[in-house]
Amino acid sequence: MTRRELVENTAVGELAFVACAIQGGSGGVEAQPRRREVVVNGKRVKTVDVHAHCAVPEAMALMGLKVTGQPNLPNVLLMSNATDRLRAMDEQGIDVEALSINPYWYKADRDVAQKLVTIQNEKLAEACAANPERFVAFASVALQHPDLAAEQLEQGVRKYGLRGAAIGGSVNGEELSDPKYHPFWAKAEALGVLVFIHPQGTAEMNATTRLKGNGLLDNVIGNPLETTIALSHLIFEGTLDQFPGLKICAAHAGGYLPSYAGRSDQGCLTFPDRCNRTLKKKPTEYIRQLYYDNIIFTPEGMRHLVTETGPGQVVMGTDYPYPWTTTSVDLILAMPGLSDAERVAMLGGTAAELLGIKA
Ligand SMILES: [Zn+2]
């Protein structure tokens, strides 16, 4: 039963049934978990999860793909069945999810890419419209056709009410900093919308044995590594200088970049002959203008991320429905040394502003 149905049932006089359900009563009625409301210093906070996945089977079919994954995953990836998703959000204290779809269409030709992205953005808009208080979404764009991607972003924002774009950390082995992608970055900057960068792994290393073996290293190491490389190129190739108004949020706490930030400043000082471009700022200063989700698992990881990037740059992420973590809210609530305002910003304030979510 959804929360809406619960309210409707109450309205038609089924209060006894509802009360029984809430108490987890007998008769085969499943207990309705209470929605967790996150409070900071006595004030209710609207929490926002910037990193949540879904899938649109009609679009995937154009690439000959099906929704697959772990046994329960296909169901929860589909927005046509949002009940389980809303229940998980309620349990974890997440008020709004910003939905995104990881790119699988970067090899599609222009016609297929156009059709696929249109279907996908329409379906994302429908999913948001069905639960406007709980979902916003990032547009999909066909970044392999940069001018088309720019159009799709504009259409996604203006026609479908989407709040930005979700892109991969590379495009068929090419860096996001390649000048061919400038039309996309220019459009994102002009629209003032957030670009969420999610890694797709490092295909080049997966072609060798380096990340094979036990422990899914292609994901555990490959994903944060790709994010680290992508962000580093955006800094060092001058993309962030050329488009200073860009708002970029990196998945998985920015990969390894904030963990070893100091080395980024030291490289060109140590080996100046290897550097051919003068940046407007120190590399670590760009790190402090990007945004990062908090999928970093430990209080010490959070502390370091916030130290290197600033409390205003960290937003909440869960990676739902992939079961990496269910405690993204708690990681922020439990973090020592934050002011109430910083905690509220991290839980949802900053993301709400970036994504145009009303308080
Ligand atoms: Zn993810």
Identify whether the C-beta of residue 137 lies closer than 8 Å to the C-beta of residue 128: yes
Asked whether residue 24 carries a pLDDT value surpassing 80, the answer given is: no
What separation in Å is there between the alpha carbon of 92 and the centre of ligand 1?
Answer: 17
| Cβ-Cβ contacts under 8 Å for 103 (sequence gap 6 or more) | 140, 143, 166, 167, 168, 200
Percent of the chain with pLDDT over 70: 91
Helical packing angle, 182-191 and 146-158, nearest 10°: 20
| CA–centroid distance, residue 33 to ligand 1 (Å) | 26
C-alpha 52 to ligand 1 mean position (Å)? 7
How many A from CA of 157 to the centre of ligand 1? 22
Residue 32's pLDDT band (boundaries 50, 70, 90)? Answer: low
Read off φ and ψ for residue 305, nearest 5 degrees.
Answer: -55, -45
How many angstroms is it from 12 CA to the middle of ligand 1?
Answer: 41
Are 250 and 313 within 8 A, CB to CB?
no
Residue with tokens 């809430």: 22
pLDDT digits (tens, 9 = 90+) for 204-256: 988 999 999 999 999 999 999 999 999 999 999 999 999 999 999 999 999 99
Write down the pLDDT at residue 81. Answer: 86
101 alpha carbon – ligand 1 mean position (Å): 9
6 CA from centroid of ligand 1 (Å)? 31
Burial (CB < 10 A; 0-12, 13-18, 19+), residue 9, is: middle
pLDDT of residue 31: 59
Write the CB contacts of 323 (distance below 8 Å, at least 6 apart in sequence): none
Distance CA 95, CA 35 (A): 9
Q: Left if phi > 0, otherwise alpha if psi is -120 to 50, otherwise beta: which for 88? A: alpha
Q: What is the mean pLDDT of the chain?
A: 91
In the chain, DSSP finds a helix count (H) and a strand count (E) of 18, 11
CA of 105 to the centre of ligand 1 (A): 16
What is the Å distance from ligand 1's center to 93 Cα?
A: 19
Distance 65 CA to ligand 1 centre (A): 19
Ligand 1 centroid – CA 226 distance (Å): 13
CA distance 165 to 94: 21
pLDDT at 96: 98
* Residue located via tokens 């930030």: 261
Which residue spans within the chain are E strands per DSSP?
39-40, 43-44, 48-53, 96-100, 135-137, 139-140, 164-168, 194-198, 247-250, 291-293, 314-315
Quick check: 5 pLDDT over 70? no
Q: Using one digit for the tens of pLDDT, what is the confidence trace for 256-288?
A: 999 999 999 999 999 999 999 999 999 999 999
In tens, the pLDDT along 87-127 reads 999 999 999 999 999 999 999 999 999 999 999 999 999 99
Contact criterion met (CB below 8 Å) for 79 and 320: no
- Average pLDDT on 309-337 reads 96
pLDDT digits (tens, 9 = 90+) for 50-90: 999 999 999 999 999 999 877 888 889 999 889 999 999 99
The whole-number pLDDT of residue 70 equals 77
| Residue 16: count of CB within 10 angstroms of its CB | 9
- Beta strand 39-40 pairing with 43-44: antiparallel
Q: How far is the CA of 50 from the centre of ligand 1 (A)?
A: 10
Percent of the chain, pLDDT > 90?
A: 86
Q: Given a cut of 90, is residue 19 above it in pLDDT?
A: no
- How many whole angstroms from 175 Cα to the centroid of ligand 1? 19
**How remote is the CA of residue 14 from the centroid of ligand 1, in Å?**
40
What is the rounded distance in angstroms from the CA atom of residue 165 to the CA atom of residue 152? Answer: 9
Taking the centre of ligand 1 as the mean of its atom positions, its distance from the CA of residue 117, in whole angstroms, is: 19
Q: Which of 128, 56, 153, 137 is nearest to 98 (CA)?
A: 137
Q: Quick check: 21 pLDDT over 80?
A: no
CA of residue 295 to ligand 1 center, whole Å: 9
Is pLDDT at 302 greater than 50 in this prediction? yes
